[in-house]
Structure 1
């Protein structure tokens, strides 16, 4: 199940990035690519292949953007030091690329952000931070992606401030992207997560990032949020934090959520209880085995397995009950004996 979710999530990320960059790929018709390649490829590869050689190609002003466009497309096909060499070749022309950020055409602005993100960091970091406020969601996402891709943790404040602008973008993707900046951003992310004035959708994204970063100090804020009326998605993200880094002090809260009217929250609370609970909590999980929600029952069964209460699962497996199949499934999973 976890592996399948991981595959689906990875596919979603790949699809998102594919859609974001599709316009850039379509800029190059076969005819145009061949024309530009014929004109510049040999000279560019000579510079790349001759180690230590630093040469500025003489490019007519009217061809500068096409030339950088060619380098940008070429960077997709190269790796490592070769991409670094392309950055050096592109550098003299980046001021003209930056001028395209003022274009009224969102596709043109998106192109400029992608080129500056590929070749212009950290020099053009502030330009990408400003692009996080662009009217076009595509421009915003490309800027967001490149700042994180290049590990620009110094831009984290701007990245977090931009979250409300992403509206209904997938919170799991955004949270995972933020987590890729690494542990150094945890204090800033945690502070923002704890701020009640931050919109619920943004706090959900921040909770996902903190969960991915396994921040133990996020548990206290997650517990506080769970005690107040909030969106289901935010409560769910907070329960996932408690499941990973919660402590025994959080058990009374988790137990109470096991009786929530929301089946998703009951399921996640059962999972957290299975990780943190004591022997007395087996009764709660046993009740949840018969929950109307199959999802809650599944998490309860896995919680019992985590608590080594396999006797309860064996008992259910031997009953003439619709959930006997679930009990058998959990008992057959790796590690259940």
Structure 2
């Protein structure tokens, strides 16, 4: 039996040496070391041996098994090293080749415009304030003098989450929250940038989601002339020193009196062209003096305090300044479009 074990060792080592791949090597292992292999058969026959022969044969069987396993492990390592070298050769990198240019990112044009507008208003003494995009009807409408049955709500057809919760249609709720936090003590000078949502058609000039910046200035003795002065300064800073504004009477439930603010056309200089529809002016935002009812509901005495408010669409200001003809360009993630604004 000792001789048979030696023969099996030599046969197995020869089979290992002649194996061409891992699959053949695994078959050799099964043939010689598996449950049905010859070494296992030898061990099963040890019961027929005498007490003196069993330890000798058992020791020899273990030595043979270990020798065969060592041969298999060595051959396995050889195959793995060969595979690694083949893979490395296939993935070889020529370090002398020039490297690929890494494209530097840049702020999104809307982000850049928001930052430009913020810089101007911060320079005028305003603070930047933000609030939740999922808002209570109470702050979005009621505190802006828009009760549940007010017809002006129809102009802001909304995405409701529940009966009293919605995606905000304007950043006005931030104004209401700020006024209430001030507890009736001015001054309050803020701008509120952020995303707003309205159920609207998606076309070249409309989107169900867009960026808005609203502003509020409440203090003692604030007048309409202050509103005009602030926006005359803002427009000249943003569009250029040759631009002018005009105020047109309008209506908003939360301001009284209310006004649309127009900017003279930058294409024709106010002479009239296709862009301004021959009027010489382009509407840019809505504004007005804060309605006394809004001040009172939010904790301010309208006999002591007054103020003005305004709201502008960021996309509209970006489109006017950079000649963009479709609001949808801002949201398509087309790098050909976005790359034009790296240095804005």
Q: Normalized against structure 1, the TM-score is what? A: 0.20
Bigger relative contact order, structure 1 or 2 (CA pairs below 8 A, ≥6 apart): 2
Rg bigger for which structure? 2
Compare the two structures and name the one with the higher strand fraction. 2
Q: Normalized against structure 2, the TM-score is what? A: 0.20
Compare the two structures and name the one with the higher helix fraction. 1
